[in-house]
Amino acid sequence: MGDDQKNDGGNQGPFNFNFRNNRFALVLLAAVFGIFVLLVSSPGRQLATEISYSDFLNHVAQGRIESVTIIDQSEIRGRMRGTFGETSVFQTRIPYFDDQLIRTLREQNVPTTGRRGTIPTWQLLLNLFPWVIGIFLIWFMMRQMQGSGNKAFAFGKSRARKYADDGKRIVFADVAGQVEAKYELQEVVEFLKNPAKFTRMGARIPKGVLLVGLPGTGKTLLAKACAGEAGVPFFHMSGSDFVEMFVGVGASRVRDLFEQGRKAAPCILFIDELDAVGRTRGAGYGGGHDEREQTLNQMLVEMDGFDTKDGVIILAATNRADVLDPALLRPGRFDRQVVVDMPDNAERAAILRIHTAKVPLSPQVDLSRIARATPGCSGADIANLVNEAALYAARANRELVQMDDFEEARDKIMMGVARRSRVFTDEEKRKTACHEAGHALLHYYLPNADPLHKVTIVPRGRALGVAFSLPEKDTYSHGKGWLTDRIKIAYGGYIAELMFYAETTTGTQADLAQATELARRMVTEWGMSSLGPIAYGQEDQPIFLGKEIAQHKGYSEEKAREIDAAIQTIATDAFGDAERILHEHRGELERLTDALLERETLTDAEVRTLLGLPERADAMDLRSTDENAPDGSDPDHSS
C-alpha cells in the first residue's frame, strides 16, 4: 500500500506518468517501434538508385541494362551492370510519352516486362508509421489528462466532489451554537433517514435549503454536519465551478450534477457561494444571454422542472441572499432559508471550547471571559484568535497558552503586528499620546459610552495608536444616546490636539469620517433628527445586480439643504459637548497623556487608578484577570 500511495502521490500534473496503469501503452509503443526498425533494416530488400531518364537511355545504348520493368507507363525499374561488372538496382521516371522506348529496348535485347503499380507492404507500413505515432501520442495525452483529475477534455462534466467519510465525520455535536439552524436542518436529516415518517402524513420535505449568513459563521460546516448526520451520499460544489469561458459549459455541468444526484438518491447536493451563479437575471450591460444566466436557467429547470425526482435535497450557502434571483427563492426550489447568525456570548464560549480542545491552556485562562470580550466575532474569527494565541505561545517557548497570548493575538488580528521598530520624534509621540488620551478620557464621562478596555500608543498596521472600548454585553441595536456619544468620542482626539497644540494632524482623518458618517445615517436612515421619521435617499446598488444605473436622491434641493443642516447640528452639538468635558478635565487629560508616554499601554483598571476613579465590578483584563475586545474598538489615530 505504501508503494501505491507513493506512485499515486507523484501524479500531480496533467502529463505525469503512472507506470502501473500505462504498462500496456509502453509495450505497444515498443512493439510498433521495433517493427519499424525491422522493416527499415530488412536485409532482403535492396534500395533502388534514382537516375534520370536521359541517363537511362544512355545506359541502354551502351548495353549496360540487364532487365527492366515498366510500371503504369510512367516509371521504370530494373537492373544494370556497373563499370566493374557489379549489378545494381535503379529506377527512373518517364517524363514524356516515348513511342520509341519499346523499340530501343528490343534492339538492345533488354528483357522487358510490365505491371500495374502497387505499394509494397513494407512501404505502406513505413508511410503509416508517423500517423500511428501521432494517434498514439494524442490518445496517450488524453488518457493522462483524464487520469490526473484535470478533465481537460470533459468540460461539461460536473466538478462535484463526493463527501468521503474517512473516519473524521462531522456531526451536529461538532458545531457549537446555531440551535435554530441545526433544528431546521435536522428535519432534512430525518427525512433522508426515514422518509415514510413524513410522507405518511402527506408532508413534503423542502426541496432546497438556503443557508444565509455573514462570512465565517459556519454555513459550510453546517452542511458538512448535515451530511455526516444523514449518512447519505453528499456532493459538494462551488458556484464558481459552473461558469467557464466556454459557452454552455455551466449548463452542462448543472445537468451532470443533478444527474449524479438522481442516480445516488436519496442524497444531498451542496452548492457553496450560490451568489456566484444565482444573481438576478437581466442585470448589467450583458443582456439576458450570457453564460452565467444560461447556467442559472438550467439550475431553475433542474430544481423544479418536469424531470425531477424525490430524495434529492439541495443545500446552498451564500452571504448575499439579497442579490439572488427571485425564481430561486420561490417555493418548490429553495423553500426554506436558514439564517446562520453571529454567535452570542454563550455560543462563543462553546466555540472556544471546541477550538481549544487540543491547545494546552494555562489554568488562569478563562474561556468565558474571552467569549465576553469578543462580541461580534464569528466562529472563524474565534478559531483564528485561538490559533494566533497558540503561535505566540510557541514563539515564546512556553508550554501553556497564557491570557497575554490571547490579548496579543486579538490586537494582531484587528490591527496587525506591533511596529515597535518604528522611530518617532518626541513631539510626534506626545501628539499621538494626547490624541489617544482625548479619546480615552471621554469614555469615563459619557453616560452611554461603552467602557474603555485599553488605550495604547504602540503603532499597529496603519494606526499610530488606539483606544479600545468594550461593550458590557451583546448588543444588536443602538439608541440615539449611544450614537451621539460615539460621535463625541470620535471628536476627542481632534479636540485634544487643538487644546494643546492649537492645530490638528492628519491622524484625525478617520475620526472625522466616522463622526460624519454616523451623523448622516442618523438623519437620513434612522430618523434621529428634527426632520422626523423619514428615510432620505437610496442605498447605492452595483449596476450588475439589475438595479437602476442612475441613483436618485429621492428629495429636492431644498430638502438636501435641510439634511445638511441637520447633520451639521448633530456634529456641532456633539463637538461642543466633547470640548466642554475635556476642558473641564484638562488636568486628567494631561496626566493620562504623560502616563501613555511613559508606559505606552494602559488598561481600564490602570486608567481608573491613575485618575482616582472607582473600579468596575465586571472589569475584564486578559493580561491578569480579564480579557479583550474586538468589537467597539476604536483605531483612532491613523496616519
- DSSP assignment, residue 42? -
Question: Residue 306 carries which side chain, given as an amino acid letter?
Answer: F
Q: Cell 438522481 sits at which residue?
A: 262
Are residues 89 and 79 in contact, defined by beta-carbon separation less than 8 angstroms? yes
Are residues 623 and 453 in contact, defined by beta-carbon separation less than 8 angstroms? no
Distance, in Å, from the CA atom of 294 to the CA atom of 232, rounded to the nearest integer, reads: 30
Q: Give the CA count within 13 Å in the CB-facing half-sphere of 200.
A: 5
Are residues 478 and 462 in contact, defined by beta-carbon separation less than 8 angstroms? no
Are residues 279 and 544 in contact, defined by beta-carbon separation less than 8 angstroms? yes
Distance, in Å, from the CA atom of 634 to the CA atom of 639, rounded to the nearest integer, reads: 14
Q: Cell 453571529 sits at which residue?
A: 342
Reduced to 3 states (helix: H, G, I; strand: E, B; else coil), residue 36 is: helix
Cell numbers at residue 180, please? 435554530
Q: How many CB atoms sit inside 10 A of residue 588's CB?
A: 19
Distance, in Å, from the CA atom of 246 to the CA atom of 251, rounded to the nearest integer, reads: 11
Phi, psi of 218 (to 5 degrees): 105, 30
Q: How many CB atoms sit inside 10 A of residue 446's CB?
A: 20
Cell numbers at residue 251, please? 449548463
* b/e 420-444 (16+ beta carbons within 10 angstroms → b): eeeeeeeeebbbbbbbbbbbbbbbb
CA-based R_g, the chain, Å: 41
Which is it for the CA torsion 493, 496, 498, 500, positive or negative?
negative
Which residues have C-beta within 8 Å of that of residue 444, sequence separation ≥ 6? 452, 607, 608, 611, 613
469 DSSP β-pair partners: 452
Reduced to 3 states (helix: H, G, I; strand: E, B; else coil), residue 79 is: strand
Active site residue 436: yes
- DSSP assignment, residue 385? H
Ordered DSSP codes for 449-489: SPPEEEEE---BTTEEEEEEE--SS--S---HHHHHHHHHH
Are residues 622 and 373 in contact, defined by beta-carbon separation less than 8 angstroms? yes
Which residues have C-beta within 8 Å of that of residue 479, sequence separation ≥ 6? 448
Are residues 381 and 374 in contact, defined by beta-carbon separation less than 8 angstroms? yes
Q: Across 185-294, where does the E strand assignment appear?
A: 208-212, 234-238, 267-272
Distance, in Å, from the CA atom of 20 to the CA atom of 304, rounded to the nearest integer, reads: 45
Q: Which residue out of 229, 273, 302, 436 is catalytically annotated?
A: 436
C-alpha distances in angstroms, 68 versus 58, 62, 84, 90, 109? 14, 15, 20, 9, 11
Distance, in Å, from the CA atom of 460 to the CA atom of 422, rounded to the nearest integer, reads: 10
Q: Give the CA count within 13 Å in the CB-facing half-sphere of 514.
A: 24
Cell numbers at residue 463, please? 494606526
Reduced to 3 states (helix: H, G, I; strand: E, B; else coil), residue 279 is: strand
Which residues carry out catalysis?
Answer: 436
